[in-house]
Chain A
Amino acid sequence: MNGQPEKNLVIRDITKSFGSVTALKTVNQEVRQGEFFTLLGPSGCGKTTLLRIIAGLELPTTGSIILTGKDITSLPAAKRQVNTVFQSYALFPHLSIFENVAFGLRSRKFPEAEVQKRVAATLDLLEMGAMRDRGPDQLSGGQRQRVAIARALVNEPDILLLDEPMSALDAKLRAQVQEELRRLQRRLGTTFIMVTHDQAEALVCSDRIAVMNAGEIIQCGTPEEVYDFPRNRFVAEFLGAANLVHARRAPGGVETEIGYLKLNREPDWLEGLVAIRPEWIKVGAVKPELNGVHATIQDIVYRGTNFDLAVSPGAMRVRTNAFKNFKIGDQVWLELPPNELVVLED
């Protein structure tokens, strides 16, 4: 294990059923110490259930949770060195910001001087020092979120869990907070495990992303890995827009409804899907050397920084820079570079 990061959290054969409903089918995953790990998936995929099992708010049906070598599966939340930032933040409305943050320390009967010192330091870290005497109802959504993070971090947890932390924030603030959260995590070196359904958020924040669907982890890897090389249709479609093309294996590539496409490696199936992101398709007036598709523009959506084109054949979406002047009905040449074509497993 030399040179390998210490394995911090091990999720081993976890399953969870609520009556006849299966929330988690066998989940196995390691989360390394100090990484920003994200569970990404649509609602109902089991990501929050998995987070709650790690937090000690839910017992798994089978399997175990191991934190730095110690089995903590049956330890309740109050006995785990794991703290949670709840989706609704769950701040105590009758307590001041200071007392909210001090809650965990006071529960464990820390001496007053220590409480004062640590709470003040944590509030300063999150730039909330000026708000210490206010009540939660006097704060904005973004400030409440900072308090929720401070309240968890002040306990110096081994792992910080974040359940959809951005869901209560507006879009503009969200982008800013994502970066701040990332910086905070890097600075502290604490393991963060975040649950989200927002792929952009997962891509911005994470060291690694586990894409979940229907109670299973479908693919786990760095943001680049899961975005650029989705394993299957679900991952390709869930992480951003993707054009999926039905294909049949042919020498050096695939034969599709939009013509022959050369690939870097031949697929191991006979019939299946290849994917390409709209932004990797090049649009031009002349026929490219490789993987050219002659297409007609069916629809144009202006998005400020770019145009989204809907083209036929193949009902593909193409994202292109905004400086070109397109009209509906224009004939164009598309280039689908072999490097950007991803062979999906299903």
Chain B
Amino acid sequence: MKESSILWRGEMTTRRALTGRGMSFLSGGMLWLLGFLILPSLIFIALSFAERGVYGEVIWTFSLENYRRLAGFSSFGWTPDYLLILGRSVIVAFVTTSVAILLSYPLTFFIASRPERSRFMWLVIIIIPFWTNIVIRTYAWFFLFSPEFPFARIAAFLGLIPAGTSLYPSAFAVYVGMISDYLPFLALPLYSSVERLDWSLVEAAQDLYASRIRVFMQAILPQTAPGLTVGIILTFVPTMATFVVPDLLGGAKYMLVGNLIQQQFGASRDWPFGAAISMALMLMTLFSMRIYRRKGKKVDLL
């Protein structure tokens, strides 16, 4: 039986030919995902239930031991150390994202209000840090936070740190580093929404007696939600897992889950435990985004 021809977007073809073409276009990406995402993930899940051998090799006997250990149970009793690190990571990611949001709104409105020509220049200024490696950018903070520079001097003058010491390693340095590294990830998607803002909704809210907060919540936030959502995902997810910034600027004083994982795969050679922490991180990230989605239900953020 001859298959009937159809007109598809102006092209004479058959259903079968279209399906075939679509599949062939898709197959590359599908295979890539299967080979480099799905399979490794499955191995990882399996690995997280395995056991470390004496010399750091993987012994494929399955137990919940790694997760028990992550929860703080060991032969010496219970310690909250790992849970503290996990909790701290969530807080760092949350604070970084929140501060980035607070900074991005004025920033993006400022850029969007510039004349078209200089708008481009402002965007380039935001994008330029992307051209520099994150490690180098983070090292740059070493200079800025060193004892001779004004930041450390002011802090010393205010009695926040002993005179002659640097501002790193510290929680403060981690936050500054994280926010400066991840601000563009939030500001750029947000800008794409702010630029297209329909100001007549703002005027309508004003006309209908709305307070400033109400104007923002009802006329600006819902309109910028798509960009904000992308920005939050692009900021929150990597900040949960980051290890360069806390490693360099936090030192041992401010370990995050990223550093913990790196340690397991590096120095400790305990891959199964590292895999278990990674799983925990993944679940926590998903869970955090879920909470965010619930909260944002009214404005349909995700």
Contact = CB atoms under 8 A, between A and B. Distances in A.
Interface of A: 55-57, 76-78, 83-84, 86-88, 90-95, 103-104, 107-108, 151-152, 155
A77 B206 contact: yes
A107 B210 contact: yes
B204 A107 contact: no
Contacts of B205: 92, 103, 107
Contact of A78 (B207, B298, B299): B207
Nearest to A107: B209
Chain B at the A interface: SS class: helix
Chain A at the B interface: SS class: loop
Interface of B: 198, 200-201, 203-211, 214, 218-219, 222, 298-300
A151 B198 CA distance: 18
A57 B298 CA distance: 29
Contact of B204 (A56, A76, A90, A94): A90
Given A55-B207, A87-B200, 7 more contacts: A77-B207, A84-B203, A90-B203, A94-B218, A103-B205, A104-B209, A152-B207
Contacts of A86: 200, 203-204
Contacts of B298: 94
B208 A103 contact: yes
Contacts, number: 62
B242 to A, nearest CB: 33
A92 B201 contact: yes
Nearest to A93: B222
B207 A57 contact: yes
Contacts of B219: 92
Nearest to B208: A104
Contacts of B299: 94
14 contacts: A57-B203, A78-B206, A78-B207, A86-B204, A87-B200, A90-B200, A92-B205, A92-B219, A94-B300, A103-B205, A104-B208, A108-B209, A151-B208, A155-B208
A77 B203 contact: yes
Given A92-B218, A92-B219, A95-B218, A107 B200 contact: no
